Amino acid sequence: MKSPKYLAFVLMVSVFFGATGFFSCTSDEETILIPKTLAEYKAQMSAFVAAEKVVVDSCVIGYNKGNFKVTSTSSFDSYKTAYLTVLNAALVVLNDSTLTISKLVAANKTLAVSGKAFTNSLFISDRRTLNDSIIVADALKTATLVGTAVNQVADSSKVTFTAAITKAKATRDASTSIQRQVDDALLELGLAKIKFSDAIIK
């Protein structure tokens, strides 16, 4: 999903190049940038705004890809409202009969701050399975007491397992965690759980 700031940059660069008739030369050919019409710019931004509204309206808090990250739950309503407000305002500008390219670019710039705040709070990978594994691991850790009796475990083993859970949680909660990192964290936690289970006195 393109960020509003990225779209603003693309639009401004396109407008500038189109207005000045700018062209660039490569080592063996000329590349001419053909300006778009106002209608084309309007259609491009209208499609973007409509798509963003769908994303915001359907967004929920959770651990799936595209969900609003759980660690930022307190910001969900305010971020959602702020972004929808500027998206709706942009639609008003787009549907104004006096629309110009400069007004379109100005409207697009208004999406940057709230749009970035919202989209940066969305998970870019699915970490539901990792979260399920963390819940199981936490339950096992809590149920297993430190001691020398049956079904108990040495303090060092519990400390190590606790650290593994904490590390997995960090990966789960980080909005920048890509799928490979999430999968690696799931594997590491699984191995730590096996090792901890084996350390429980039988």
Determine the Cα–Cα distance for residues 162 and 157; give it in Å rounded to an integer: 9
Per-domain residue ranges for the chain?
A: 4-119, 128-199
Using one digit for the tens of pLDDT, what is the confidence trace for 87-136?
999 999 999 999 999 999 999 999 999 999 999 999 999 999 999 999 99
Residue 67: what are its φ and ψ, rounded to 5°? -75, 155
8 A C-beta contact, residue 69 and residue 121: yes
Contact 172, 185 (CB under 8 A): yes
Q: What is the pLDDT of residues 140-192, one digit of tens each?
A: 999 999 999 999 999 999 999 999 999 999 999 998 999 999 999 999 999 99
Q: Does domain 128-199 have CATH number 1.10.10.350?
A: no
User: Mean pLDDT throughout 28-57?
Assistant: 86
Provide long-range contacts, Cβ within 8 A and 24+ apart, for 188-192: 188/164, 189/130, 189/133, 189/134, 189/137, 189/164, 189/165, 190/133, 192/137, 192/160, 192/161, 192/164, 192/165
pLDDT bracket for residue 32 (50, 70, 90):
low
